[in-house]
Amino acid sequence: MTPPDNKNRRSATVPSSRLSRMASLTGLAGRVAGNLVTEGSKQWIRGQRPALSELLLSRRNLEQVADRLARMRGAAMKLGQLISMDSGVLLPPELAQVLERLREDAVIMPAAQLVTVLEQNWGSNWDQRLAQFSFEPIAAASIGQVHRGRTREGRDLAIKIQYPGVRRSIDSDIDNVVSLLRLSGLLPRDLDIDPLVAEAKHQLKLETDYQHEQKQLLAYDLALQDGFRHYQALALPGVDTQNSTEQILCMDYLAGTGLKSVAAQQPTLKDHIPTLLLELFFCELFQLRCVQTDPNPANYQYSLERNQLILLDFGAVRHFTADFVHHYHGAICAATDRNAPQLVEALEALGFFSQQHDAANRQVVLDIFMEATEPLRTSGGYDFGRSDLARRIHEQGMAISSDPEAWHTPPADVLFLHRKMGGLFMLAAQLGARVDVQRIFSHYRELP
């Protein structure tokens, strides 16, 4: 299997050692500072007196930060994705905007580096394991990229291959990125994101263990078989355990189409797919207490041939305690009913308010929760395509972002849930879906 020249995809060697990854960020800090001096000098010559914050948040600086994190992949890129998932409530909008790019922006490994990873995991005769292997990836993300392959027994595989150096650099990568963002002024110095940083490290260590993801996939599938009433409408890949390692995950290749494309081909699916995804989410949280928390649309495809929604990524499956689910269920019900006292009680039980920021942000948080449950209060189909709910929530959230005294980090469990919920909302909006969310939620209104 000779690696081809890859001229049509953007590729760059992934820095694999801690030193090279630190140097990558150090170089970026230098560029940010250089851009600041250059742009500041230009404006001074023109008689302008720019604010330091304006220079730091210049388009050039923001684009270079996003580009470098994308090239590093791994923890550096994933932290940007995690920080950005609060939809503007946690971060200034300029930084949230640039980090948003990292959800879809990734570059691939050069073929030579890819072969090195294969040899480290499968040995020098790795190519003897398979009858066919495609060097052109079919997907690339923050932790790894996916290739097609076929075993000698004829099993068609999707082979997820982890970028080198990602796992052993998690702690240092995240610490270095946080330091860079703080020193550059792109992240407010007084914003306490330590709980989120600790959670990001923990989550990434799980996601970079493909043996763990393999177990998650198998357990998640069994849980859905037992607990999801529309299981037959889903398709999950099986796992080739013999060829999977900690850095390579071999799953059945399931042919499907992207959700936007398939909805365009069959307009009835624009309502059906979000309806199925929202029902799946409520089942995950309130019945199974385990949620696939990554809402990236690339994690879903649809098979027109089998009329099934294909679920693809299980590294971000997150388990929640019975107490957390009980209190969050109470918060959702109270917000839907606009019962402020019960909502306060539920959010306090979740640890949502800190004593320091209680007075500053409590009412805004309550208002956002109640606003966000609008689809659950709407009789009949909620029109996601015409809804301005996301804009209204963002404007309310800016009341926190614009007040440094009110900045805080919500509990990690809540943040991961809101990431998933926000992603599902945006997907339904992009498809222009009408979904009877109230009817779906009524099935889960009473916990078992």
Whether 98 and 132 share a structural domain: no
Given this model, what pLDDT does residue 43 score?
38
In a domain, 13, yes or no: no
Residue 66 burial (C-beta neighbours within 10 Å; 0-12, 13-18, 19+): buried
In a domain, 7, yes or no: no
Whether 92 and 23 share a structural domain: yes
Q: Which of 68, 289, 79, 53 is nearest to 198 (CA)?
A: 79
In a domain, 312, yes or no: yes
CB environment 354-365: b (16+ within 10 A), e (fewer): eeebeebbbebb
In a domain, 32, yes or no: yes
Could you tell me the two tokens for 399? 């009341």
Percent of the chain with pLDDT over 70: 68
Instruction: Give the tens place of pLDDT for each residue, 351-379.
Output: 877 655 555 577 888 888 999 999 999 99
Given this model, what pLDDT does residue 39 score?
41
Under 8 Å CB-to-CB from 70, ≥6 apart: which residues?
Answer: 77, 101, 102, 105, 106, 107
Given this model, what pLDDT does residue 81 score?
55
Given this model, what pLDDT does residue 176 score?
74
The pLDDT of residue 312 is above 80:
yes
In a domain, 280, yes or no: yes
Given this model, what pLDDT does residue 114 score?
93
Least reliable range by pLDDT among 87-91, 111-115, 225-229, 346-350: 87-91
In a domain, 2, yes or no: no
In a domain, 201, yes or no: no
Whether 114 and 220 share a structural domain: yes
3-state DSSP helix/strand/coil % of the chain, to nearest 5:
55, 10, 30
Whether 221 and 291 share a structural domain: no
Given this model, what pLDDT does residue 21 score?
45
Given this model, what pLDDT does residue 220 score?
96
> How far does CA 151 lie from the centroid of its chain?
31
Whether 182 and 220 share a structural domain: no
Whether 183 and 331 share a structural domain: no
**Cβ–Cβ < 8 Å for 290, 338:** no
Given this model, what pLDDT does residue 34 score?
43
Split into its structural domains, the chain has a count of 3
Whether 327 and 353 share a structural domain: yes
The pLDDT of residue 108 is above 50:
yes
Whether 295 and 419 share a structural domain: yes
Give the structural domain span for 315. 255-448
Segment 1-23 shows an average pLDDT of 49
The full DSSP string for 137-181 is -SEE-SSEEEEEEEETT--EEEEEEEPTTTGGGHHHHHHHHHHHH
CA angle 159, 163, 168 (to 5 degrees): 125
CA angle 254, 255, 260 (to 5 degrees): 115
Whether 176 and 291 share a structural domain: no
Whether 117 and 127 share a structural domain: yes
In a domain, 76, yes or no: yes
The full DSSP string for 353-396 is --TTTHHHHHHHHHHHHHHHTHHHH-SS-EETTT--HHHHHHHH
Whether 278 and 180 share a structural domain: no
Q: Which of 361, 344, 347, 368 is nearest to 408 (CA)?
A: 361
**Cβ–Cβ < 8 Å for 362, 353:** yes
Helix (H) or strand (E) holding 216: helix 210-227
Instruction: Give the tens place of pLDDT for each residue, 260-270.
Output: 999 999 999 99
